Amino acid sequence: MKASSTKDWEFSLFYHPTKGLFNCTPYKSINLDKLFEIYQSPYLITKSNELKTASDEQKVLIKSLLPYFTYSGVFTYRNNESIVSYNSSLLPLDIDGLSEQDAIQVQFNLSIQKGCVMSILSPRGKGVKALFYLGNEIEIENHYSTLCNNVEHIAKQLNIEDFVSNIDKGQFKLCQPFFIGYNEHNFFNLDAQPTNWIVEDVPKKIVEYIPPKTRNHKFSSNIEQKRIEGYVLNECSRVENYLSQLGEGDRHSNIWRVGGCASLIHYVPHLSNEIEQRLFIAVVGMYRSEQEAKNTRATKTFKDIWDKAQPKNNEIIEQIINEYSINLKSLEQ
């Protein structure tokens, strides 16, 4: 079912007192009016005040136990395949990494724009979350690609061009959690009118899977083995180094990079455990502790990406294999 008007929007609310973010089964479905009530509930005000004074480690734990909702619609389970009602005209915004002064200004600027349904500061005052009623609908199959490719256009239309790099594209994912937190700098509007501007539909790119040319390769020499191992291990080191330099707002959205190494393991299956462990440590190392990585689902995301990675062809490794294959044939003649 598609909901194109704010009065028809519905959301899945998720809350579990111990599982927090790890809970993917919705508590119930709610409408926009009920969502606004929850935002201003005594429980949210109390928890949000705790966040203001919490240490960085405490902050992660408190935030992970806050209720959240799926902005894009109603789900029977929190994954893209389980959506049953889709809010086709809703634009979510999560703007991170702001100074307190900039955050207040951005929240106010968004609140006065036509189409603003909600804008609110994060509990710690360094980010802004907002919902907008778009002047057009977004096709569900192109949801993520359309919003990601229109992010500069969106920022321009909302007069926040200076903060386009602070817009978290991860929030555009169909089943992405939208955490609920209270701040006195807030704006709620049940009677919002759609924006005068639209976003251009950008079809999702369909990448055809091409199986690798080489499977179950047997090394022709120690030199060939060392060259292929060296290449794969160097790719592992490159990803480790990249992840080690990321800031807080870029950590989770870059875990996908481990998949590139996982797709090369079919060339060096004997190194699978070593490389998986190294990259797991690299992902956890982006956070203050392994517990924080678990609380933010970083470890689960890593495991999902690693396990689902498909073997892929690598041109450089194929060149090495071909080079030694030719040399071997010439020696046999």
Question: Distance between CA 142 and CA 215 in Å, rounded?
Answer: 34
Sign of CA dihedral 48, 181, 22, 171: negative
Q: Are 196 and 136 in contact (CB under 8 A)?
A: no
What are the residue boundaries of the structural domains of the chain, listed by start? Answer: 2-188, 222-332
pLDDT at 331: 47
**Cβ distance 27 to 110 under 8 Å?**
no
Nearest to 267 by CA among 232, 293, 222, 226: 232
- Indicate the DSSP class of residue 304: H
CB 59 within 8 A of CB 51: yes
Mean pLDDT, the chain cut into blocks of 10 residues (333 residues total): 84 88 90 95 88 78 84 94 95 95 96 97 91 96 94 96 94 93 94 95 78 80 93 96 87 91 95 96 92 86 94 92 69 48
3-state secondary structure of 74: strand
How many angstroms separate the CA atoms of 284 and 249, rounded? 15
pLDDT at site 328: 52
Local structure of 328: helix, strand or coil: helix
- Report the Cα 317 to chain-centroid distance in Å: 31
Spatial CA neighbour of 95 closest among 84, 85, 106: 106
This prediction has a pTM of: 0.74
pLDDT at residue 204, rounded to an integer: 79
Residue from 187, 192, 183, 182 nearest 38 by CA? 182
